[in-house]
Amino acid sequence: MKILGIESSCDETAAAVVEDGTKILSNIIASQVEIHSRYGGIVPEIASRQHLLSVIPVVEQALSNASVTPDGLSAIAVTNGPGLAGSLLVGVNLAKALALAWDLPLIGINHLEAHIYANWLGEDTPVFPLLALIVSGGHTDLVLMSNHGELLLLGRTRDDAAGEAFDKVARMLELGYPGGPAVERASREGTPRYHLPRAWLKGSDDFSFSGLKTAVVRLAEELGISTMPHPNSVAADIAASFQRSVVDVLVTKTTAAANRHGVKQVLLAGGVAANELLRETVVRRLPTPVLVPDPVLCTDNAAMIASCGYFHLLAGKVAGWDLDVIPGLKLG
């Protein structure tokens, strides 16, 4: 079964065709990074207008690259939350129109659940029960998954998401935009010489990154970063220390939860899972087998939406024409 996936929750307009939830036939992503980089962050109204311009060419390209015509599709899956309302509306509205015109089932997808499904697009098939660590720009969630559609949120961030902390630290240290890859690049030139705090929140699977972010601000002030030319080795050392602290907390808490629940596998998901230090550390430190998606499937894409849509279709989870966007949609 071939599913067309459409994703427009944030600043990537994406469409993909995936066969049987696992085989990518096409995966098109139109990024708005350059447009928003002028503002140092995503401007919601610009994002929705840009989706409006890109979404039809992106879908056409996805169908053409997959050599699929509408009558070869089994369903249309679209992200309906969480995300920016105006951005989500563009994808959902197009998906409804295409489902109506092509007489196909419409499937509403939770973007966070879909991030986990990026792991079904690799060589190894995930095995239940599994633990998924979703680390994105808006979320840091530890999810226990006992089967398709059976998700239990064990922990989440109480303040900043991991990706959000990367983005804020990049801005503070003037490392560039988008923040995650900029901090990672700077860290390669630096040494993690500063000990920054780690919020363990003992007895809980929750996370917290705001104290770490404040510690980075204080350290940068103490060291006089603002008076130094850019790039500089002090900023690189702070970036490396920050990255190490985030990765240490993520991996330590994921290991504890994986051991407690006796899962067969641990999956990484979300934009921060593209981070090399996190990928390498999680594989090295976890006793449980770990799956990590290809970096291009960690950040926002529509292949993960189509894959998740396939498993929803198998379970008969099809949306009606009243499918709405839910900017604050939760997992589970």
Footprint on this chain of Zn ion (rule: CB under 5 A): 136, 300
The item of Zn ion, ligand KG4, none sharing an interface with residue 246, based on CB under 5 to 8 Å by kind, is none
Binding mask 288-327 for ligand KG4 (x = CB under 6 A): -----------xx---------------------------
Compute φ and ψ for 329, nearest 5 degrees: -50, 135
179 binds ligand KG4 (CB under 6 A): yes
Site for ligand KG4 in 137-166 (CB under 6 A): 137-138, 163-164, 166
**Helices 276-285 + 233-261 axis angle, to 10:** 40
Stretch that binds ligand KG4, among 27-35, 93-101, 265-273, 309-317 (CB under 6 A): 265-273
Residues sharing a CB contact under 8 Å with residue 184, sequence separation 6 or more, in sequence order? 243, 275, 276, 277
Q: In the bound complex, what is the minimum distance in angstroms from residue 140's beta carbon to Zn ion?
A: 12
Among 5, 81, 86, 270, binds ligand KG4 (CB under 6 A): 270
- C-beta neighbour count of 213 within 10 angstroms: 19
Burial 280-301 (b: 16+ CB within 10 A, else e): ebbeeebebebbbbeeebbbbb
The item of ligand KG4, Zn ion, none sharing an interface with residue 274, based on CB under 5 to 8 Å by kind, is ligand KG4
Nearer to ligand KG4, 105 or 270 (CB): 270
167 binds ligand KG4 (CB under 6 A): yes
Among 272, 302, 304, 313, binds ligand KG4 (CB under 6 A): 272
Q: What are the angstrom distances between the C-alpha of 207 and each of 232, 274, 286? A: 30, 19, 18
State the first-to-last Cα distance of the chain, in angstroms, to the nearest integer: 25
CB 297 within 8 A of CB 118: yes
Residues 245 and 284: their CA atoms lie apart, in Å, by: 16
108 binds ligand KG4 (CB under 6 A): no
109 binds ligand KG4 (CB under 6 A): no
Nearer to Zn ion, 8 or 232 (CB): 8
The item of ligand KG4, Zn ion, none sharing an interface with residue 180, based on CB under 5 to 8 Å by kind, is ligand KG4
Tokens representing 34 are 């350059």
CB 113 within 8 A of CB 149: no
Of all helices (H) and strands (E), which one includes residue 29?
Answer: strand 23-31
81 binds ligand KG4 (CB under 6 A): no
Nearer to ligand KG4, 180 or 192 (CB): 180
- C-beta neighbour count of 187 within 10 angstroms: 23
Tokens representing 288 are 């449980």
Q: Which residues bind ligand KG4 (CB under 6 A)?
A: 10, 136-138, 163-164, 166-167, 178-181, 184, 270-272, 274-275, 299-300
